[in-house]
Chains A and B, each alone.
Chain A
Amino acid sequence: MTTGDTVATLTTDVLVIGGGPAGTWAAIKATQAGADVVLVDKGHTGSSGATASVGTGVWYVDDVPELREAAMASREVLGGHLAERDWMTRVLDETHDRMDELAAVQRYPFPIDAYGRPIRNDLQGPEYMRRQRTRVQRLGVRILDHTPALELLVDDDGVASGAVALDRASGHTVRIEAGAVVLAAGGCAFQSKSLGCDVNTGDGALMAVEAGAVLSGMEFSNSFAIAPKGTSLTKTAYYSWATFYRGDRTPIEGAGSARGRTVIAKTLCDEPVFARIDRVTEAERVGMRKGQPNFFLVFDRLGIDPFTDFFEITLVAEGTVRGTGGVRIADYDCATDVPGLYAAGDTATRELICGGFTGGGSHNAAWAASSGSWAGRGAATFARRRGDRPATLRALGGAGLRPDGRVGLDYRAVTAAVQRHVLPHEHNFLRHGDQLAPALQSLHDAWSAVRANLGAEGEDVFRAREAAAMVAHSRWMYHAALQRTETRGMHKRIDHPTQDPDQRYRLLTGGLDDIWTRPEPAGAPVGGRAA
């Protein structure tokens, strides 16, 4: 690394990396458990990340056994039977509590229904996240904005003990020593211009694997959003009311937002596709404008009436932001396979509650609030039990920070090389072994070049690190995608179009230079069963 000297060393009980919903809930719960907390965010806590700039559903289900049962059952087929009932139950309970707390303490203005009852299954991103920031600040958490974490620190026993971060404004590094670390840095959308997600470059997964953590479900990383062509408006919900058309304005048979997205992808390979949200009543139109104002903000500025005009659409990669793969969770506290290291939100696998498919923000939002809360409490407990930390800590960052050879590679070229292989829906949405294998080889070559020559100075240090994280993420994705020789959840293999009952297991992936993928052993300590 070629930044200036470390200008400051902070010491704390719990370091939270990432200030989205998962990170802010982690900070709140760790503080309430008695821990001193530092929170670092690459952007700005409250306005940064996948939630702050959108509206999101929340998997909030009233505590009525029949409703809960239906909510859980509805996801099992879609997710390819890889979720766990005990985790779904816990997340439904925890999410209910957190949304009620959000109303009572953060004073979030939930809408009220016709019978005077609050509606708590939907959140407006900017409102939610600005209140999360205020709450975190009032609890005395030290927030460092525009300070991306670069690498983890560990002690001689490999216990997570903090991180080195970059103060973007000064270009200097900050060292934060901690008794435990929560990774809540988001997923990876490969800077596809998915709304608000350019900051989500898979940094959490890279730091976790460097420390020895294992990933799970990396093949479930091919979610693609519908967006008006040329925009960042990757909000897909209202396309449930859309009809999709060819250039000559004839409807495309079988095209749809949910199961018909494959038809859209196939059509897009040959010709442009247009949409019109024309299966709505007047009352529904009014409701939509209220429900998602920033959806219409873009259309209004484009001068398009989406209810009456045809508009060209495209598919935008959302990687593991709306996918479900991420760092493997080893127990009910959201510990990883590394002692002292916890994972939450989109950095962690979400297979435990929705298997290989999300279909929307609802489950991810519930998971973020729940896993963040558990990870925060777990990290606080771990730090308290740990007591004094050793004086010497080791920094783990490799790729993009400490090249083996001379710096001679531009991070922009590295990012472009990754994007070439993962952003086109014709390669990644509908997958085929004949395309995955050479793409993976090319990405391995990119990784070797990164290892040898990628580095940067000043503020660009974190850009180089982002590029390295995206190369790593793409390789884990395609390695796992090749291994799963079937179609399950969102993972669609053209060369293996059916679900194979013998592959009903989660796939673990790990390694940096040499990547491995293998089925999770039966009886592995997931879900706290062996805890």
Chain B
Amino acid sequence: MIEVVAGERCIGCDRCIEVCPTRVFDRGEGGIPVIARQDSCQTCFQCEAYCPTDALFVAPFATPAAADSDFRDATHLQANGLLGGYRRELGWGSGRRLGARTAVGPEYPD
């Protein structure tokens, strides 16, 4: 589920508000999106894929992370290179090679 909007990275482009299929975000004070309806989050990672500044983090669980979880700590996530991981794989963002170009899995065993 979506756990973090890293306010200091956010440029207020509203892309996450637009692309979220389940309308999890609202525009908050000062233009920074806020997680207004976390219970609507379907853990699809699309907001992360579209965030141009790697300011969002979706934890790998389909239910909210515990209050003291590292997944809710933007400083920890940034320090451990966990922000922007999905975009790196997709190759989205300037100067990157599109992941689709090399997305070839192995032949199936049957």
Interface residues of A (CB under 8 A from B): 42-44, 46-49, 52-53, 55, 108-113, 119, 122-124, 126-127, 145-146, 168-169, 193, 195-199, 230-233, 237-238, 240-241, 258, 279-280, 283-284, 287-288, 290-294, 296-302
Task: Find out whether the CB atom of A293 lies under 8 angstroms from the CB atom of B62.
Answer: no
Task: Find out whether the CB atom of A145 lies under 8 angstroms from the CB atom of B18.
Answer: yes
If A193-B42, A279-B109 touch, whether A44 touches B19 (CB-CB below 8 Å) is: yes
Task: Find out whether the CB atom of A109 lies under 8 angstroms from the CB atom of B101.
Answer: yes
- The answer to the question of B43 belonging to the interface, with a C-beta cut-off of 8 Å to chain A, is yes
What are 10 A-B interface contacts by the 8 Å CB criterion? A43-B20, A44-B19, A44-B21, A46-B19, A122-B103, A124-B100, A195-B44, A196-B44, A293-B90, A301-B85
Task: Find out whether the CB atom of A122 lies under 8 angstroms from the CB atom of B62.
Answer: no
- The answer to the question of B11 belonging to the interface, with a C-beta cut-off of 8 Å to chain A, is no
Residue from the list B43, B44, B92, B105 in contact with A291, Cβ < 8 A: B105
Q: How far is the CB of A345 from chain B (nearest CB, A)?
A: 16
What is the total number of residues of chain B having a CB less than 8 Å from a CB of chain A? 38
Q: How far is the CB of A458 from chain B (nearest CB, A)?
A: 13
Most chain A CB within a 10 A radius of its CB, from B63, B89, B103, B108: B103
Interface residues of B (CB under 8 A from A): 18-23, 40, 42-46, 49-50, 59-63, 71, 82, 85-86, 89-90, 92, 98-106, 108-110
Summarize A's interface: helix, strand, loop or mixed.
loop
Sample of 8 further A-B pairs with CB below 8 A, known A43-B22, A53-B45 = A111-B102, A196-B21, A231-B62, A232-B44, A290-B102, A291-B106, A294-B86, A301-B59
Residue from the list A48, A119, A168, A283 in contact with B106, Cβ < 8 A: A283
> A residues within 8 A CB of B86?
293-294, 297
Task: Find out whether the CB atom of A291 lies under 8 angstroms from the CB atom of B18.
Answer: no
Task: Find out whether the CB atom of B98 lies under 8 angstroms from the CB atom of A300.
Answer: no
Most chain A CB within a 10 A radius of its CB, from B19, B44, B90, B92: B44
> A residues within 8 A CB of B71?
301
If A197-B42, A240-B109, A297-B86 touch, whether A44 touches B49 (CB-CB below 8 Å) is: no
If A240-B109, A293-B99, A297-B86 touch, whether A122 touches B104 (CB-CB below 8 Å) is: yes
A302 CA to B58 CA in the complex, in Å? 12
If A199-B21, A231-B43, A297-B86 touch, whether A119 touches B104 (CB-CB below 8 Å) is: yes
Task: Find out whether the CB atom of B99 lies under 8 angstroms from the CB atom of A124.
Answer: yes
Q: How far is the CB of A227 from chain B (nearest CB, A)?
A: 9
